[in-house]
Structure 1
Amino acid sequence: MKWSIHQLQKYRQGAMPLDEAVDLESVKIRNPEIRNITPVRVTGSCTIGSKKLTCRFRLEGTMTLPCSRTWEDVELPFVIEADEQFSWDETILAADDEIHPVVGETIDLTPVFEELVLLEVPLQIFSPNADDMKEAKGQGWSYTTDEAYNAKLREEMATKVDPRLAGLAKFFESKDE
């Protein structure tokens, strides 16, 4: 979504409504864990002043991420509400560092939308059947639940003889008394 400042001047008396679908496939380059993203529906409004553009957005979409346990695709719907400001005046930009600077005569909202979506990516996400998985192995890695690991560890400890006491175990095996 790009607009020129001159193009926005016709909305100076009132708010400019927004209702568009935006393709944000470029977030997959910035975060390779995002396997897919549907077109994001952007709704809201923007008001323009003499030196600043203020927008209120609502972004809705679905991104596909890998399950942290099984690596299966997990769809994560998201709804993001944000208020963003853009300015092309140096004094306003110097006074507030939370205002996005406008370079040239065009306001491009796509990088802002990308940042908002990237902030919604969770550190971990699990598929609905991830709890059913107890153990898995691959080349150089393995996965097991805490319960299965502790049970296996207890079993090994019960059958393992302390090497310091190995000679004592042989004492009872001898038959020459």
Structure 2
Amino acid sequence: MNIKLADLERRNGEPLPFKATLDEVDLKSRHHEIRGMTPVEAEGEAVQLGNLYYVTGKMKADVNFICARCLNPFTHHASVSFSETFAPEDDPILGEDEDSDILPLEGDEIELDALLQEDFLLAMPTFPLCEDDCKGLCPTCGVNRNEVSCSCTNERIDPRLAGLADFFKDSK
């Protein structure tokens, strides 16, 4: 989706609302943890204030993942806010601060697709969990510890420190 700068200039500071749909196939192929998703619906507004152009809004989609701990599939209802600021390429504000979040404009349009895709993908978890307190699978018997408690002892002792366990048996 592209927003023409001329349209924003004609509005004299009034926001220009927009709606867009991002390609879910492309997004899925760029994030290895995404197993499936609904189309990403983006809604927002763009406005010109002085020499700067502001684009803000929100994206929504249902994203399917596999939990990294218990391996159960789950759906994450993603709601991602975005906010981008643009300035003409020759604007001196771009040269003032190298760490600025202001993006240079190339041409007479704001190209949103790549930026919205990047914002959406950066908001997706790299280690997806079905619940924040997911207990995962038992490393010994493999049972899902969210559903069943097992009696396995999963005490891990560093082999370099195993000799200390014998040392403290006598002090009990």
Q: Smaller-chain TM-score range?
A: 0.5 to 0.7
Q: TM-score, normalised by structure 2?
A: 0.67
Q: CA deviation at 1:135?
A: 6.0
Change (3 A) 1:29 1:92: farther
Code of the residue aligned with 1:34 in structure 2: it is I
Change (3 A) 1:33 1:125: closer
In structure 1, the partner of 2:166 is: none
> Which structure has the bigger radius of gyration?
1
Alignment equivalent of 2:117, drawn from 114, 117, 123: 114
Matched, 1:95 2:96: yes
Identity %: 20
Q: Which runs of 5+ in 2 are unaligned?
A: 157-172
Cα distance, 1:15–1:33 mapped onto 2, change above 3 Å = same
Question: Counterpart of 1:82 in structure 2: which amino acid?
Answer: F
Q: Deviations over 1:104-127 (max 9, x none)?
A: 233111122122212222243334
Tell me, yes or no, if the aligned pair for 2:70 and 2:144 is still in contact at 8 Å. no
Query: Aligned AA for 1:92?
Result: I
Q: CA deviation at 1:99?
A: 1.0
Deviation at 1:83, TM superposition (A): 2.1
Corresponding position of 1:56: 56
Aligned pairs (5 A) from 1:1-177:
1-49=1-49, 51-90=51-90, 91-96=92-97, 97-127=100-130, 134=138, 148-150=151-153
Change (3 A) 1:144 1:78: closer
TM-score normalised by the chain length of structure 1: 0.65
Larger helix proportion of the pair: 1
Name the count of aligned residue pairs.
Answer: 148
Deviation at 1:24, TM superposition (A): 4.2
